[in-house]
Amino acid sequence: MRRQHLVGLSIAIAAMVMNITPAIADVFAYKDANGVLTFTNVPNHAGYRRVIKESNGQTYLGSTASSAYEDLIRSAANRHNLDVDLVRAVIRAESDFNSNARSQKGAMGLMQLMPETARFHKVVDAFDPSDNVEGGVRHLKMLLERYQGNLELSLAAYNAGSGAVEKHGGIPPFAETREYVRRVLRYYDSYRGSGLTSIQQLRQ
């Protein structure tokens, strides 16, 4: 029931965005004392929080695309003490939330686990969303610990492997890897404080 209500909110917000001119595409939400949510593109007091941010003329609705996997993403992230928005950003960059995705190199599922990575993290079915996200979050956590919290190096290793990062003493000079790191960081920034994440917090 809760998920259906959130989806309904997402549709309502998306409809609102379509009717907002590009110059004022940011959308803000406010929850009053009765728990009623109000959305506007022209906030008139400090109680409003931005839930949709326009970037370079393109409006992106926070975590709407990930709503189908929200519970398992949040559960795995919390279990391993990772930022939920970072996990969402990696999934979006890796598979765009397609649990059946398979790359030409053999990476599988939401977090595009390579067969050896899946085996290392004891992932039984890499195309099962829950199993895949658990393995992917474990791997990301392991990399963050290995590189002492350096997010860029950890993301580079997630994409190109730790061997490549260590061989080059930093982010490898591969166009694909450099663009991957930039893309994840861009998605991460767009998720934080936007979309359904903010709406869920407002509803609590």
Using DSSP, state whether 108 is helix, strand or coil. Answer: strand
For 1-44, the DSSP string reads -HHHHHHHHHHHHHHHHHTS-GGG--EEEEE-TT--EEEESS--
| Spatial separation of the C-alpha atoms in residues 177 and 130, rounded to whole Å | 26
The residue from 70, 94, 166, 176 that is catalytic is 94
Rounded to 5 degrees, φ, ψ at 108 are -130, 145
Please give the Cα distance from 87 to 83 (Å, whole number). 7
Q: Is 152 a catalytic residue?
A: no
Q: Residue length, the chain?
A: 204
Alpha-carbon span 104 to 96, nearest angstrom: 16
C-alpha to C-alpha distance for 30 and 108, rounded to whole angstroms: 40
Positions marked catalytic: 94
